[in-house]
Amino acid sequence: MLYKILFSDGSCYLGGESYKETLWNNIPDKQIKQIAFSLPDGNMFVLKGYDEFNHIVEATQDVYNSNKFTLRYQYLMGRLGDKVISYRITLFEGKNNRYSIGDVTRREYTWGKEYSNKPTKGWKKGIIK
């Protein structure tokens, strides 16, 4: 399981088993209280208290073999008003990479410019205060 969602009505949803099939788009249209994401080292990373939540996975694809891709990062995002808090989790280790697998980097962006200065799709509603 990649993540577990707890909805405001007390029900739960278990996310996908792989980064290729996260099942993010299958999440029921309910208010999310919190999401617990599994990290590569087995620990959990919990997001809660946001107006909306999002999750994307960044990978590179081999130009010679369309079935071969390399996972790079997982982004866990929460929106509060016009601010997006983004947590980037490293999923690969390379010679020139200063981050190790499982490292978390926190960044803040303006709503609509949260990924490469562009908006993302797939936001799920949280509990509006």
pLDDT(79) > 90: yes
Average pLDDT of the chain, as a whole number: 92
Q: What is the pLDDT of residue 14?
A: 97
Q: Is the pLDDT of residue 66 over 70?
A: yes
The answer to whether 94 and 120 have CB atoms below 8 angstroms apart is no
For residue 26, report the phi and psi dihedrals to the nearest 5 degrees: -95, 0
| pLDDT at residue 49 in the model | 95
Q: Which residue has the higher pLDDT, 72 or 5?
A: 5
Tens digits of residue pLDDT in 33-65: 999 999 888 889 999 999 999 999 999 888 887
Residue 129: per-residue pLDDT: 62
Domain borders along the chain are 3-125
Alpha helices in 1-129 (DSSP H): none
